[in-house]
Amino acid sequence: MAVLPVITWGDPRLKKNSEDVGEWTPELEQLSEDMFETTLFEEGVGLAAPQIGRNLNLAVIDCSCGEDPAQRIILINPEIILEEGVQVGPEGCLSIPGVREVLERPQKVTIRNRAKDGSWHELVGEDLLARAFCHEIDHLRGRLFVEYFGPVKRQVIQRRYQKQARS
């Protein structure tokens, strides 16, 4: 397994819509393992392929931060099909290190996800997992969490991030 470099805010690859994953291959298996390793190394909860420069509809989530292998989820061509309730809480992003902002997300999310064998199934996430589903699927659609804020707040966040990145 390898820790992969995470690209950061401003890189145009983060703004692209991802291409669907086709047949599951040993290369994709290795990529997903490397993505879990990178997420753990960076002390994150999830990582989408665009964040490592790969234009694939693929993301990994581990809300246990490496503590419980049963909580590892691979998102393959995921789609949100139902959002319920509201939660408000802090959110960060491995592509915007050092920035955490309070953001409203659904309390409960149901997604349609493809399994490695090509079959489709639904997954339901609440609380942190719901937030992670939304966050990672946003990445697959070329959207960063800071884009939910208005232009003034986004500019303030960007200036703070750039200042911190320089120091």
- By annotation, the residues acting in catalysis are 136
Is 81 within 8 Å of 122 (Cβ atoms)?
Answer: yes
d(C-alpha 133, C-alpha 111), whole Å: 8
Please indicate if the annotation marks 93 as binding a ligand: yes
Q: Binding residue per annotation — 135?
A: yes
User: What residues pair up with 104 in beta bridges, in sequence order?
Assistant: 88
Determine the Cα–Cα distance for residues 147 and 149; give it in Å rounded to an integer. 5
Q: What is the layout of strands, in order, in the sheet containing 72-76?
A: 46-48, 58-62, 72-76
- Residue 19 is given by DSSP the state B
121 annotated binding-site participant: no
* Residues forming a β-bridge with 105: 87
Residue type, 133: F
φ, ψ of residue 143 to 5 degrees: the values are: -125, 135
Hey, which residues does 79 pair with through a beta bridge?
112
| Binding region for Fe cation | 93, 135, 139
